[in-house]
Amino acid sequence: MHVDIILFDGFDTLDAIGPFEVFGHARSMGAPLEISLVTVESQSSVHSSHGLEVVPDGFLTRVGDDDSLRIERSPALVIVPGGGWRVEDGGVRQQVSDGRLPSLMRDLHRAGSTIASVCTGAMVLAEAGLTDGRPAITHRSAIDDLRDSGAEIVDSRVVDDGDLVTAGGITAGIDLALHLLEREFDEELSTSVAAVMEYEAQGSAYQT
């Protein structure tokens, strides 16, 4: 199972690293997972909102001869972190106005990937139209914006609507990944990873 975690300049560090850590431990325990930290296009390094500089593992698209973006990878699960929804430019705000990441999420969703978001990463999915009329959650600070975009807000730390899974703010990304481990593999794996991480799951996932 290929899991791609999206990176872009201004991403919230823990939004991406929480799920990365959970899936990493699951892989160490033998789960057949490949986890990559990827950018939309080729980029030598990415800076998080708090200044972590990460060298990504790869990228999702290649620019075609006609300047169109062609999907290079088609993962089973894509996770979009948040960060920077309340800033003028940079972070999620920049990704939404740029449009390439939302458009790519729409394409991957259509191609069969499960699309997940942590925190204000949900606003990228809203821009892609993926949350329209569907149950979803985001960081507290963006709940009104997500509702205004047409999503049905569910007050839960993790909201699982099948091929669309959203989580609340920052640390809720850990719960999202633990929930997906339980869903895609089994409860024992999820419980074992939480134990190794000395983490007590906060709240339960809402599942349609």
Binding a copy of itself (rule: CB under 8 A), the pick from 21, 160, 161, 182 is 21
CA-to-CA distance for 46 and 111, rounded, in angstroms? Answer: 27
Binding a copy of itself (rule: CB under 8 A), the pick from 29, 96, 154, 196 is 196
Should residue 157 be labelled a site residue for a copy of itself when binding is judged by CB under 8 A? yes
CA-to-CA distance for 178 and 58, rounded, in angstroms? Answer: 24
Should residue 206 be labelled a site residue for a copy of itself when binding is judged by CB under 8 A? no
CA-to-CA distance for 128 and 125, rounded, in angstroms? Answer: 5
Should residue 10 be labelled a site residue for a copy of itself when binding is judged by CB under 8 A? no
Which of these, 175, 170, 46, 178, lies nearest to 120 by C-alpha position?
170
In angstroms, give the least distance from the CB of 202 to a copy of itself.
Answer: 6
Query: Are 189 and 34 contacting, i.e. CB atoms less than 8 angstroms apart?
Result: no
Residues 6+ apart with CB under 8 A from 149: 123, 126, 127, 131, 132
The enclosing H or E element of 107 equals helix 100-110
Should residue 90 be labelled a site residue for a copy of itself when binding is judged by CB under 8 A? no
Binding a copy of itself (rule: CB under 8 A), the pick from 54, 71, 153, 154 is 54
In angstroms, give the least distance from the CB of 36 to a copy of itself.
Answer: 9
Which residue stretch of 47-55, 124-132, 144-152, 176-184 sits at the interface with a copy of itself (rule: CB under 8 A)? 47-55
Should residue 139 be labelled a site residue for a copy of itself when binding is judged by CB under 8 A? yes
CA-to-CA distance for 175 and 129, rounded, in angstroms? Answer: 24
Q: How many CA atoms lie within 13 A of 133 on its CB side?
A: 0
Binding a copy of itself (rule: CB under 8 A), the pick from 75, 91, 121, 169 is 169
Binding a copy of itself (rule: CB under 8 A), the pick from 4, 39, 49, 81 is 49
Q: List interacting residues with a copy of itself (CB under 8 A).
A: 12-14, 17-18, 20-21, 24-25, 27-28, 35, 37, 45, 49-55, 57, 139-140, 157, 168-172, 174, 196-200, 202
